[in-house]
Amino acid sequence: MVDSGADAQKNMFDTFITFPWNTDDEVIVSTRAKDFSVPEASTGTDERKYHGTSIKVPKTEITFDRKFSLTFRLDASYALYQQFITWHSITADPVSGGVSNWATSRGTVRVQALSGTYAATAVHSYEDTKSTYAIADAETNAEWTFFDVWPEKVGQPKFTGDAGGALDYTVEF
């Protein structure tokens, strides 16, 4: 068992988002991302019958819903949340009831699993004016990149007076 190596861990992933107004820069939102499920593709089957016998063969079509969602913890300044609200309002503004041409509202979402013997001092680093983030080596990690995405729905925070705890919201792309 020891020689089989480390198992992939479901909480070891990085999330990168390129907002439409930041076409040259990715924003690392891993510290706020809570969960992500990879959209699944499936192939249907077709049944062929002949003389009382039947076999199933794959259909020449793929069933694939290109929608996915990310759940985020809400930051106390609502900064990341406001970015998603702004992005969503490019396509539809619930305040004014206006809708717009969606061509300028597309961004990119990239989710990268941290595989192998990942350590916080990874191969590459990204530096900004405040801190340095470790980024895993893209050549060894599974990665899902979604181009030309837009937020179809930005969930609202749900408040309660019963207990404390972090708020979260889900963005559907």
The mean pLDDT value for 62-85 works out to 90
CA distances from 71 to 29, 65, 143, 145, 155 (A): 11, 18, 18, 17, 9
Q: What secondary structure does DSSP assign to 92-117, as a single string?
A: EETTTTEE--GGGG-EEEEEEE--SS
Positive or negative, the Cα torsion across 2, 4, 8, 14? positive
- Give percent of the chain with pLDDT exceeding 70: 75
The reported pLDDT for the residue numbered 132 is 44
Question: Is residue 118 predicted with pLDDT exceeding 80?
Answer: no
- In this structure, of 71-85, 94-108, 148-162, the range with the lowest mean pLDDT score is 94-108
Q: Assign 128 a pLDDT band (cuts: 50, 70, 90).
A: very low
Give the count of beta carbons closer than 10 Å to the beta carbon of residue 129: 4
Q: Assign 156 a pLDDT band (cuts: 50, 70, 90).
A: very high
Residue type at 124 in one-letter notation = H
Q: Assign 29 a pLDDT band (cuts: 50, 70, 90).
A: confident
Instruction: Locate 37 and state its tokens.
Output: 């499920």
pTM: 0.72
Count of CA atoms in the C-beta half-sphere (13 A) of 141: 23
Question: Is residue 136 predicted with pLDDT exceeding 80?
Answer: no
pLDDT: which is higher, 157 or 137 = 157
